[in-house]
Amino acid sequence: MKQHIAILGIFASLLFAGTDSTVTVHFTDGTERSGHLVYMDSNRVEIALHSDSSASAPLRVDGRSRYLYAPSSFNLDAGKMQFSQKELLFSTFAYGLTDNVSLQVGSVIPALFVSGGRNGLLGIKAGGMWHDRLGAHAGMQTFFFEKSTLLVPFAGVTGAQGPGQVSFNYAQGSTTENLHERISIYDLAGAYRIMPSLSLVSENFLVFPPSASTGNSDKYLWIASLVARYHGPVMVLDAGFLKVQDLQIPIPWVDFSFQF
C-alpha cells in the first residue's frame, strides 16, 4: 500500500538503511505507523505496513489556526467549534462556518461583575491555504464596551513547510467615536511541531499608538513571547512567558483551547 506521508527526523538515517529496515513514521495528524522499508530515493519512500500498524496514536488538535492571540491563514473546518481561555480573563468561542470562514464571540468574563464592566467581542475571519504551503487571511474584530466600541480590521499571510509555519499580521484599531485616531499593530508569529504532542510557539507585537502617526515615531510598545504547546486529542495547552517592554520580569502565560 502506498501512502503520501510526512516523515519527521528519519530521512537521514534511512539513507544508509537496508531494505529490511524497520521504521516508524509519524504523520502530521499525530498518528504513527510502523513497517519495513521497501524502497527509497530522493523523491519517494515506500513502506510495507505491519499488520498491527492500525493501532495508532489518537488524532491530536493541530492548533494551526492561531498562535497566542493572532490568527494564521489556517482555519477551523466547517462545523468545528473551539473554546479558548486566555490566562484567567479572556474567553472566546470560534465556529467554522465554512472551511474558509470562521466566526468568533467572546468576553472578559470577570469584568462583567464590575460596575461599568460590560463587554463583548464579535469577530470574523476569512482565509485559506494553498496546498498547506502559502495562504492569506483577513477579518475584523469588534470589541464592545459600556461606553465605547473598538474596531480592529486585520489582514495577514502565512507560510508553512512541514512541521513549521510563520505568519505576519497587520491590524489597525480605532473607536467608533474617533475613527481617525488609529493604533497600528504589527505581529510576527511562528510555530514549530517538535513531535506529535509538542510544539514551540512564539508571537511578537509592535504596537504604535495614534501619536506615532503624527511624527513621534519613537513611541511604541513591543511584546515578545515563547511558549510550549501541548497537543491533545481534544485540547491544546500553552504555557510559557511574555516579555513586555520596560518590564524587567517576564509575565507567565497560560491558555488552553478545546475543539469539538
Residue 36 — pLDDT band, cuts 50, 70, 90? confident
Exposed e or buried b for every residue in 91-129, given b needs 16+ CB within 10 A?
Answer: bbebbbbeebbbbbebbbeeeeeeeeeebebebebbbeb
Q: What is the pLDDT of residues 65-94, one digit of tens each?
A: 999 999 999 999 999 999 999 998 899 999
pLDDT at 13: 45
Q: What is the pLDDT of residues 101-155, one digit of tens each?
A: 999 999 999 888 888 889 999 999 999 999 989 999 999 999 999 989 999 999 9
Residue 210 — pLDDT band, cuts 50, 70, 90? confident
Range name among 10-14, 18-22, 55-59, 231-235 with the lowest pLDDT average: 10-14
Question: What's the Cα-to-Cα distance from 68 to each of 30, 86, 235, 237, rounded to whole Å?
Answer: 21, 8, 14, 10
The strand pair at 149-161 and 134-145 is best described as antiparallel
Q: How many CB atoms lie within 10 A of CB 8?
A: 16
CA-CA distance, 197 to 232, in Å (whole number)? 7
CA-CA distance, 68 to 72, in Å (whole number)? 11
Q: How many CB atoms lie within 10 A of CB 179?
A: 9
- 81-259 has CATH 3.30.2230.10 classification: no
CB–CB of 212/188 below 8 Å?
Answer: no
Q: What is the pLDDT of residues 38-73, one digit of tens each?
A: 677 767 777 777 666 554 555 788 899 999 999 999
pTM over 0.85: no
Q: Where are the domains of the chain?
A: 1-57, 81-259
pLDDT at 89: 87
Span 220-233, average pLDDT: 96
